[in-house]
Amino acid sequence: MVKERFRSLAILAALVLLPGCAAAIPKEISSKVTYSGGFGELQRSPEKFTGEYIILGGRIVEVKNDPPFSSMIVLQLPLETDHKPRINDPSEGRFLVRSGSFLDPAVYSPGTYVTVAGTVAGKEVLPIGGYAYVYPVIRQEKIWKWDLEKGSYPRFHFGIGIGTVF
């Protein structure tokens, strides 16, 4: 009886914990990365890195669909080792994603967290208020959306009797 309970608990723990070990971005994508610098360096000289394959992430600011392509402005955030944006870390700036396909603003709405894989395609200067802002342009190959709201991580409580969950 005790062995059966222990086995059931071990299986349940494995089902809960092992999916967190899986890579969020497939190796066939992450192995293509050729850019190894930081975001600040990319933002200062985007044209210097044209053609480099990169993975960036952050929070969507705006999506526009003007044929022949769609554009998405993303507020950059540092990435975890699984390439998900670190939502509590400061941003180093913005980047512009160009896609040859339609990016539905209802799906890619402002505030959504994304990771983008693609090639650096130079720069574009666009206004933010009265300021001319230099955006590194990424030609999108793949986009991943994440549900990373603060406090949305799983909480666990183990104990006997009365307890509290933080």
- For each successive 10 residues of the chain (166 residues), what is the average pLDDT? 53 45 76 94 96 98 95 97 95 97 96 97 96 97 87 49 56
Confidence at residue 165, expressed as pLDDT on a 0 to 100 scale? 55
Nearest to 145 by CA among 95, 90, 92, 106: 106
Confidence at residue 148, expressed as pLDDT on a 0 to 100 scale? 77
Confidence at residue 3, expressed as pLDDT on a 0 to 100 scale? 57
Q: What is the bridge-based pairing of β-strands 53-66 and 113-128?
A: antiparallel
Confidence at residue 81, expressed as pLDDT on a 0 to 100 scale? 92
CATH 2.40.50.140 is held by the domain 25-146: yes
Confidence at residue 2, expressed as pLDDT on a 0 to 100 scale? 53
Confidence at residue 66, expressed as pLDDT on a 0 to 100 scale? 92
Q: 165: how many CB neighbours lie within 10 A of its CB?
A: 7
Confidence at residue 18, expressed as pLDDT on a 0 to 100 scale? 44
